[in-house]
Structure 1
Amino acid sequence: MSISHWKRILPTSLMSRLRIVPLLALLVGTASLTGCASMDPAFETRGAHPGIESTTHDSLTALPQPASPVVTAVYQFRDQTGQYKRKERGSTFSRAVTQGGTAILMDALADSDWYRPIERKGLSNLTQERDIIRSIRQQYEGDRADPLSPLLFAGIVLEGGIIGFDSNVISGGGGFRLFSIGGSGEYRRSQVTIYLRAVSTQTGEVLKTVHTTKTILSQELQGNATRFVAANLFLETEAGISYNEPKTLAVTEAIDAAVRQLTIEGMRDGLFSPADTAAAGSVIQRYEKSKARADRRDYFDRLLQPNNRPGPGIEVGSGGQVLQGDRQDPGLNPLGSLTLRQPLAPRWALGLRNTVGRLDAAGDFQETALTSELALTYYFTPHARFTPFLRATGGVATTFPDPHRLDDNGSLIGGGSLGAEYMVDERLGVSAAFGVRVAADDDLDGAARGSFNDSLWGGSVGITYYDLF
Structure 2
Amino acid sequence: MKFIKSSLYLAIVVLLSGCGAYFNQPVAPTPARIGETTSTTDFLKNIPQPSEPVVVGVYNFKDQTGQYKNVENGSTFSTAVPQGATTMLIKALEDSKWFTPIERENLSNLLNERNIIRSTRQEYTGDNSGQPNLPPLLYAGILLEGGIISYDSNIITGGYGARYFGAGGSTQYRQDRITIYLRAVSTSNGKILKTVYVSKTILSQALDASLFKYVKFQRLLEVETGITKNEPVQLAIQNAIENAVESLIIEGIEDNLWSTASGQETNEAIVAMYNSRKEEEENTLLYNRKQAQSILRHSFGVYGNGPVLNGDYSKKSLGAGGGLKYSYYLSPKLDIGLKGEYLNFTGGESFEKAYLSTNLLLGYTLLPLDNLTPYIYAGVGGVFDLDQPDPELSEDTTGFNVQYGLALKYNFNPQLSLSIGAENNHTATDGMDNIINGVRDDFYYNFHLGLEWRFGKNLK
TM-score, scaled to structure 1: 0.87
Task: Name the residue aligned to 2:213.
Answer: 227
Task: Name the residue aligned to 2:126.
Answer: 142
Task: Name the residue aligned to 1:395.
Answer: 381
C-alpha spacing 1:182/1:415, structure 2 compared with 1 (3 Å): farther
Q: Residue 353 of structure 1: CA displacement?
A: 1.7
Aligned partner (choices 328, 334, 340) of residue 342 of structure 1: 328
Aligned partner (choices 319, 325, 328) of residue 311 of structure 2: 325
Does structure 2 retain, via aligned residues, the 8 Å contact 1:400–1:408? Answer: no
Report the residue type matching 2:170 in the other structure.
Answer: S
Task: Name the residue aligned to 1:17.
Answer: none
What secondary structure, in the 3-state scheme, does the structure 2 residue paired with 1:349 have?
strand
Task: Name the residue aligned to 1:359.
Answer: 345
1:163 aligns to 2:149 (yes or no): yes
**Partner Cα distance (1:159, 1:208) in 2:** 11
Q: How many residues are matched?
A: 447
Report the residue type matching 1:142 in the other structure.
Answer: G
Q: How far does the alpha carbon of each residue in 1:390-432 deviate from its partner, in whole angstroms, 9 at most, with x for none?
A: 23344323344249x9x95134433433322222332322211
Greater mean deviation of Cα atoms: 143-152 or 244-253: 143-152
What secondary structure, in the 3-state scheme, does the structure 2 residue paired with 1:305 have?
coil
What secondary structure, in the 3-state scheme, does the structure 2 residue paired with 1:300 have?
helix
Report the residue type matching 1:353 in the other structure.
Answer: K
Greater mean deviation of Cα atoms: 284-293 or 337-346: 284-293
**Partner Cα distance (2:405, 2:26) in 1:** 48
Task: Name the residue aligned to 1:414.
Answer: 402
Task: Name the residue aligned to 1:255.
Answer: 241
Q: How far does the alpha carbon of each residue in 1:35-88 deviate from its partner, in whole angstroms, 9 at most, with x for none?
A: 666412334422211111110111112222122211110000011111122222
Report the residue type matching 1:184 in the other structure.
Answer: S
What secondary structure, in the 3-state scheme, does the structure 2 residue paired with 1:22 have?
helix
Does structure 2 retain, via aligned residues, the 8 Å contact 1:33–1:240? Answer: no
C-alpha spacing 1:431/1:128, structure 2 compared with 1 (3 Å): same
Task: Name the residue aligned to 2:64.
Answer: 80
Aligned partner (choices 398, 402, 411) of residue 423 of structure 1: 411
What secondary structure, in the 3-state scheme, does the structure 2 residue paired with 1:311 have?
strand
Q: Residue 137 of structure 1: CA displacement?
A: 2.0
Q: Residue 34 of structure 1: CA displacement?
A: 6.7
Task: Name the residue aligned to 1:182.
Answer: 168
1:380 aligns to 2:339 (yes or no): no
Does structure 2 retain, via aligned residues, the 8 Å contact 1:105–1:256? Answer: yes
Does structure 2 retain, via aligned residues, the 8 Å contact 1:322–1:330? Answer: yes
**Partner Cα distance (1:415, 1:44) in 2:** 66
**Partner Cα distance (1:203, 1:468) in 2:** 49
* CA RMSD, 1 decimal: 2.6
Does structure 2 retain, via aligned residues, the 8 Å contact 1:366–1:401? Answer: no
Does structure 2 retain, via aligned residues, the 8 Å contact 1:30–1:238? Answer: no
Q: How far does the alpha carbon of each residue in 1:305-332 deviate from its partner, in whole angstroms, 9 at most, with x for none?
A: 2422x21222111131222332133222
C-alpha spacing 1:186/1:459, structure 2 compared with 1 (3 Å): farther
Task: Name the residue aligned to 1:307.
Answer: 294
C-alpha spacing 1:45/1:34, structure 2 compared with 1 (3 Å): farther
Q: Residue 213 of structure 1: CA displacement?
A: 1.7
Does structure 2 retain, via aligned residues, the 8 Å contact 1:427–1:467? Answer: yes
Q: Residue 260 of structure 1: CA displacement?
A: 1.2
1:281 aligns to 2:268 (yes or no): yes
Task: Name the residue aligned to 2:5.
Answer: 24
1:271 aligns to 2:252 (yes or no): no
**Partner Cα distance (1:346, 1:95) in 2:** 45
Question: Following superposition of structure 1 onto structure 2, how do residues 22-101 of structure 1 map, counting pairs within 5 Å?
Answer: 22-32=3-13, 38-101=22-85
Does structure 2 retain, via aligned residues, the 8 Å contact 1:185–1:219? Answer: yes
Q: Residue 283 of structure 1: CA displacement?
A: 1.2
TM-score, scaled to structure 2: 0.89
Aligned partner (choices 274, 297, 315) of residue 284 of structure 2: 297
C-alpha spacing 1:232/1:325, structure 2 compared with 1 (3 Å): farther
**Partner Cα distance (1:156, 1:339) in 2:** 60
Does structure 1 retain, via aligned residues, the 8 Å contact 2:250–2:270? Answer: yes
**Partner Cα distance (1:224, 1:344) in 2:** 54
Give 5+ residue unaligned stretches, structure 1: 1-19
Task: Name the residue aligned to 2:226.
Answer: 240
C-alpha spacing 1:379/1:178, structure 2 compared with 1 (3 Å): farther
Task: Name the residue aligned to 1:128.
Answer: 112
**Partner Cα distance (1:379, 1:241) in 2:** 41
C-alpha spacing 1:43/1:393, structure 2 compared with 1 (3 Å): farther
Does structure 1 retain, via aligned residues, the 8 Å contact 2:398–2:429? Answer: no
C-alpha spacing 1:174/1:443, structure 2 compared with 1 (3 Å): farther
**Partner Cα distance (2:299, 2:104) in 1:** 61
Aligned partner (choices 437, 440, 443) of residue 455 of structure 1: 443
Task: Name the residue aligned to 1:103.
Answer: 87
**Partner Cα distance (2:437, 2:46) in 1:** 76
Report the residue type matching 1:303 in the other structure.
Answer: K
Q: Residue 105 of structure 1: CA displacement?
A: 0.2
**Partner Cα distance (1:236, 1:452) in 2:** 57
Q: How far does the alpha carbon of each residue in 1:248-269 deviate from its partner, in whole angstroms, 9 at most, with x for none?
A: 1111111111111111122222
Report the residue type matching 2:267 in the other structure.
Answer: A
Q: Residue 148 of structure 1: CA displacement?
A: 2.1
Q: Residue 235 of structure 1: CA displacement?
A: 3.2
**Partner Cα distance (2:205, 2:329) in 1:** 39
Q: Residue 448 of structure 1: CA displacement?
A: 4.5
**Partner Cα distance (2:171, 2:420) in 1:** 26
What secondary structure, in the 3-state scheme, does the structure 1 residue paired with 2:80 have?
coil
**Partner Cα distance (1:165, 1:450) in 2:** 66
What is the percent sequence identity of the aligned residues? 38
Does structure 1 retain, via aligned residues, the 8 Å contact 2:12–2:209? Answer: no
Q: Residue 234 of structure 1: CA displacement?
A: 3.6
